Amino acid sequence: MVESKSEHIDHVFHALAHPARRAILQRIARGEQSITELAAPFDMSLEAVSKHVQVLERARLLDRTRAGRAYRCRFRPAPLRDAAKILSELAGLWGRQLDGLEKLLLELERRS
Amino acid sequence: MVESKSEHIDHVFHALAHPARRAILQRIARGEQSITELAAPFDMSLEAVSKHVQVLERARLLDRTRAGRAYRCRFRPAPLRDAAKILSELAGLWGRQLDGLEKLLLELERRS
DNA sequence: GCGACACTCAACAAAACGGTTGACAGTCAT
DNA sequence: ATGACTGTCAACCGTTTTGTTGAGTGTCGC
């Protein structure tokens, strides 16, 4: 069950393509949250939110560890760097100075 | 048939989540191409490629104008700026120096 | 131990996706 | 006018997505 690099970036963009998932990412980017906490603002079943979390996990944008009966969901920014790189490439920004976003995402990655 | 801003960014990320569509974008980023030309490298029917082009069009990443019997497909980078902004925000890079990518995408937009 | 809590799993359903094929409609070249 | 070329439309197919419910599992507090 290997996952090619191409498959992974597909998962990342797919994960970002849903407003609920982007909202979840915004929340955990500000601090770890349990699934129940993440579900609270949504007019959606807990199970639905759980599935969104799984999609984010598949994209490796989210990390979950068990903490008692709850899960602690943690933001993992690394794949954003890959996504940003593709946007840069598409914008034709090859080799120019503008890889600032990439550099900063790498920095964030180092500090985590 | 209005399209909310949120719907639009959904379309953008969705469009980017398929390797064939990213390949199409790479090609037209280097120059306009007809649909038949775009289809050539793919092991896929012309109709399938035509549908991918429609998805890119919905995301406003692609612009098509009729030129005789063919269509001229043109790259439209503007939505990449919105996508990059979301990545920046998620990376928690608010207000820091690192909006280089955004600035350059805006510049690209201005020049088109 | 008992119940409330935090989730997952399994099954289902509706809609969207990604692809095919066949028929059709303009447009260009002769 | 004919025919080749470029592409769409409509129908269909199987799979994935996105959501629902209901039942089940493990954990915490008392």
Separation between Cα atoms, residue A4 and residue B19, nearest integer Å = 12
Least confident of A41-45, B26-30, B51-55: B26-30
Question: Using 50, 70 and 90 to split pLDDT, how confident is the model at B3?
Answer: confident
Q: Which residues contact A8 (CB under 8 A, 6 or more apart)?
A: A59, A60, A79, A82
Q: Across chain B, what does the average pLDDT equal?
A: 85
Do B62 and B101 sit in the same domain of this protein? Answer: no
Give per-residue burial for A56-81: e unless 16+ CB within 10 Å, then b: bbbbbbbbbeeeeeebbbebbbebbb
pLDDT of residue A30: 87
- The three-class DSSP label of residue A16 is helix
Burial of B66 (0-12, 13-18, 19+ CB in 10 A): exposed
Which residue in the block uniquely carries the two structure tokens 């600035």? B103
Q: Beta carbon of A54 within 7 Å of strand D? A: no
pLDDT digits (tens, 9 = 90+) for B11-40: 999 999 999 999 999 999 988 999 999 999
Q: Which nucleotide is nearest to B43 (CA to C1')?
A: C19
Domain that holds residue B103: 77-112
Evaluate if the CB of A70 falls below 7 Å from strand D.
no
Q: What percent of chain A has pLDDT over 70?
A: 78
Regarding whether B66 and B88 lie in a shared domain, the answer is no
Check whether residue A8 and residue A55 sit in a common domain: yes
Q: Are residues B36 and B58 in the same domain?
A: yes
Residues whose CB is less than 8 angstroms from the CB of residue A68 and which lie 6 or more positions away in sequence, other chains included: none
pLDDT at A103: 54
A65 in the same domain as A94: no
Higher-confidence position of A90 and A57: A57
Residues A60 and A86 in one domain: no
Higher pLDDT: A108 or B27? It is: B27
Average pLDDT on A49-57 reads 98
- The reply to whether A26 and A43 lie within a common domain is yes
Banded pLDDT at A91 (limits 50, 70, 90) = confident
pLDDT of residue A101: 55
Percent of chain B with pLDDT over 70: 78
| Interface residues, strand C, Cβ cutoff 7 Å | A 34-37, 46-47, 50, 53, 64, 69-71; B 14, 17-18, 20, 43-45, 47-48, 51-52, 55, 66, 68-69
On whether both B2 and B31 belong to a single domain, the answer is: yes
